[in-house]
Amino acid sequence: MFNESWRLAQGNEIIGKLYLSDVDQPWFMCTFEPAEGWETVRNLFEEQSEAMKTGDPERIGISMASIRSLGLRLLPLAGEGEVIPVMIHIMEGEAKFRA
């Protein structure tokens, strides 16, 4: 878990790369670099961001469940192992996750 950069993957498709910029436990704050696979999930993350802005707990829960159902994994750019994010948010070049 002490890697500082990961590929965000759904199955064999790479969604993007995350580069650790800060840790505010339990959150890992990162910059996000989209990859080709980003377009397949972008709308779900945009919906999550909009739901969070409204503060509607039901809408937030639904959007988080949609993202969780993607089966996303964080694969280190260097080294071995993988991290399964419990929660992940991506918005405007920034990402944060809990593992």
pTM: 0.91
At 23-65, the pLDDT tens digits run 999 999 999 999 999 999 999 999 999 999 999 999 999 999 9
At 68-77, the pLDDT tens digits run 999 999 999 9
Statement: residue 3 has pLDDT above 80:
no
Range of the domain at 92: 5-98
Instruction: Look at residue 2 in the predicted model and tell me its pLDDT.
Output: 61
Query: How many separate domains does the chain show?
Result: 1
89 Cβ neighbours under 8 A, 6+ residues apart: 45, 48, 49, 52, 95, 96, 97
Mean pLDDT of 2-29: 94
